[in-house]
A and B are shown apart, each in its own frame.
Chain A
Amino acid sequence: MLDDHDRRILRQLQAEPTLKAAELAERVGLSAQQAWRRVERMEREGVIRGQEAMIDWEALGFAVRVSLRITLDKTLPRAFDEFLEAARAVREVTEIQTFLGRVDVRLEVIARDMGHWTGIYREKIMALPHIADIEALMHVSRIKVQEALPV
């Protein structure tokens, strides 16, 4: 399992994934080789699964972001599968989550402007199968987007 050195490495890499081995080692008080061996071990064990570039959709002209909270008609056995399959085909959907709770599924949808959003909502979202109820939350601003784990 992970020890304090590993956790320190993860904290540094979460804050700055592109840190060079030498700099990382200095910050966690290890030699570069020791630090790198630990990073490689955590990659092998699947604790570190890689890196991704974060796309800023707003900078690309998608100014509207909406959370759709959806309740499905669960009297139909294949409601979830059929809904999810159809939702994956909507290009403006950037996230799909399923839940245990009052809400069954959340879709995050982006659009260029309100006109574009209205079109997506009427033509693509309302056409998704088995929706019993749907609520929209319009995103105003992002206060914290870290998604770091408090390791």
Chain B
Amino acid sequence: MNLDELDWEILKALQADGRLSAGAVGRRLGLSQPAAWRRIRRLREAGAISGQRLRLDAEKLGFGVTVFLGVKLATKGQVSLEDFERAVSAIPEVQTVEHVLGLYDYRLRVTARDLADFERVLRRRIMALPGVGNVEANVLLTEERRPGPLGGPLG
């Protein structure tokens, strides 16, 4: 899809605050409310905005630990990827599952109350999945979401 400068500015504004109304977006960018509304609708329909996410403070909700896991499947060819993906996606503490190429086959983002809780999830749920081989865990210390290409001038 072809985006002009104003579309990028709209995406940037809505990424920062998803609750902005079309009127508020329009006021910031010098567009009328209907013009802003039409552009936002077009961005949603084209899939550029794929949805809305609630931002929660994980720590205040008692989830003090986030771990990124690299998972290598042990028995390639014998384990169905679909079975593994279905089983791992069903674990509530597993927030993201991505199929990757490289040192690992999957990367997972796992949330837990504390390290003991994480160990329980890892041992009882993840290590028990069909076909899991080598697993590497890295405990998250800090995280920044960057605006990506929305951040600077268009290249």
| A residues adjacent to B (C-beta < 8 A) | 2, 10, 13-14, 17-18, 45-57, 59-62, 67, 88, 91-103, 106, 110, 135-151
Expressed in whole angstroms, the Cα–Cα distance for A99 and B18 within the complex equals 29
CB distance from B62 to the nearest CB of A (A): 8
> A142 — which chain B residues lie within 8 A by C-beta?
96-99
Chain A residues within 8 Å of B53, by CB: 17, 51-54, 147
Interface pick from B29-37, B126-134, B137-145? B137-145
Residue of A47, A55, A91, A151 near B49 (CB, 8 A) is: A55
- Residues on A with beta carbons closer than 8 Å to the beta carbon of B137: 101
Within the complex, which residue of B56, B88, B148 is in contact with A57, where a contact is CB–CB below 8 Å? B148
Q: B17 to chain A: which residues have CB within 8 Å?
A: 50-52
| B52 and A91 contact, CB distance less than 8 A | no
B151 on interface, CB distance cutoff 8 Å: yes
Whether A140 pairs with B148 at a CB distance below 8 angstroms is no
B58 within 8 A of A: yes
How distant is A103 from chain B, measured CB to nearest CB, in Å?
Answer: 5
The count of residues in chain B whose C-beta lies closer than 8 Å to any C-beta of chain A is: 65
The reply on B122 being an interface residue by CB < 8 A is no
Task: Knowing A45-B60, A96-B146 are in contact, say whether A147-B141 is a contact too (CB < 8 A).
Answer: no
Interface membership of chain B positions 76-109, coded 1 if the CB is closer than 8 angstroms to chain A and 0 otherwise = 0000000001001100111111111111101101
B46→A94 contact, CB < 8 A: no
CA distance A91 to B148 in the complex (A): 5
- Chain B residues, CB < 8 A from A141: 98-99
Chain B nearest CB: distance from A28 CB in Å? 15
A51 with B101: CB separation less than 8 A: no
Closest to B143 in A: A97
Does B136 touch A at the CB level, under 8 Å?
Answer: yes
Name B151's closest neighbour in chain A (CB-CB): A91
Contact, CB under 8 Å: B48 / A55: yes
Task: Decide if A137 touches B155 in the complex (CB within 8 Å).
Answer: no
Known contacts A50-B18, A139-B100, A147-B96: A106-B48 contact under CB 8 Å? no
**C-alpha gap A32/B89 in the complex (Å):** 33
